[in-house]
Amino acid sequence: MLIQGGRVIDPKTGTDAVMDVAVENGKIVEMGANLADRYPNCDSIIDARGLVVAPGLIDVHVHFRDPGLTYKEDIHTGAMASAAGGFTTVVCMANTKPPVDNVETLEYVIREGKKTGINVLTAANITVGMKGEILTDMEELKAHGAVGFTDDGIPLRDSSLVRRAMEEAVRLNVPLSFHEEDPALITNNGINRGAVSDKLGIGGSPAAAEDVLVARDCMLALDTGAVIDIQHISSGHSVRLVELAQDLGAHIVAEVTPHHFTLDESAVLKHGSLAKMNPPLRTPSDREEIIRGLKENIITVIATDHAPHSAEEKSRPLTECPSGIIGLETALALGITSLVRAGHLSLSELLAKMTLNPATLYHLETTKGWIGAGSDADLVLFDPDESWTVENFHSKSSNSPFLGETLFGKVHYTICNGEIAYRADTDSFNF
């Protein structure tokens, strides 16, 4: 494969130049000007003039609902949504039914993922049955392919157990990802406790519910040396807590979703259940602090928390419907529209938070998250200036507050392991 004339952006080396990219046997073998003469027998040529050629996006936080909840999504449709959004690698969360607390379920997810056209990785659970009581056999699960551990969706209340999990994660050299919401402080989760929840009379989730667990886990990570991911950060105070812990030497990775840096709690009044998620959208000042965190590299990873739900589920009353929205097919465009075009980040800085930094968190950085000779040929080709309207999804679900919005940044090709996984002009997949 020869990709000709694209603007190659590599966040690892700082490359930002128009050049050709040659691919052989799933690897990038050469980059430079006018490579056509050096590869006359190339089996596939892509004209990338006017497009950015970047590392394939990596999402460390997706819910494919498989096994057990496949009416919402399954591994195949989740992979399609990923490829359509420019993602070549995803890390599935473990809160399936049954949960990924055992080798059989773990191997099922890995096996089904290999049938798709992208790299589907999975975390396993920190605790058996996600009950927060007994640690899983993390060593065995890692040996069978788990890339990290999380009980995402359910916060861990037992500080002693969290500490033991961190000590085991240090021994195994794996990251732990934490969903930080103290349920004791929440009445009707999914909506921020504040002006909007008061208007709706539904209680809500205060930022303090996030802050207290973030503070605990940052200090435990500092004490143990564990690498932890504070998932879907939503509170400005939590951004400050992470900043302090990082300054003290803790190995804290903070991730944020596109909806948390794009929207605030007022979106609930406009979109109803489509703006309900855990943790909730918070105040404009929280959003401003999140953007500061992104600009100052306190928040180093952008992840979607892709959370499909059926239309019937989301049509229930606000206090009864499930929390969460899909995000794989809009993430890149939301980053370009709300961060790059708004002047908060450069395009290379945005891509680092969606490629190289996620790869580093999961020890994939030797071959993924960057472009250069010897790297995996996982690429996304997109036009950052092309506008498009969010209308249809390849996911099984369509629970998104961005339906009908016009965004900038259109994916044209997603290439994974040297093969075209998705092309927009034919809206087709190679799996």
Length of the chain: 431
Give 201's contacts (C-beta < 8 A, 6+ positions apart). Answer: none
DSSP string, 391-412: ---SSS----TTTT-EEEEEEE
CA-based max dimension of the chain: 69
Catalytic status, residue 305: yes
Beta pairing, strands 176-178 & 227-230 = parallel
CA distance 331 to 409: 10
Find the distance separating the first CA and the last CA of the chain, reported in whole Å. Answer: 18
Selecting among 74, 211, 305, 383, the annotated active-site residue is 305
CA distance 369 to 11: 8
CA distance 238 to 213: 9
- Residue 378 burial class via C-beta count within 10 angstroms: exposed 0-12, middle 13-18, buried 19 and up: buried
Cβ neighbour number for residue 285 with a 10 Å cutoff: 10
Cβ neighbour number for residue 131 with a 10 Å cutoff: 12
- Dihedral (CA of 26, 431, 357, 250) sign: negative
DSSP string, 358-387: HHHHTT-TTTSSS-STTSB--EEEEEEEEE
CA distance 247 to 240: 11
CA distance 253 to 230: 6
C-alpha dist (Å) from residue 58 to 55, 87, 157, 248, 343: 9, 6, 29, 28, 23
Q: Which residues are catalytic?
A: 305
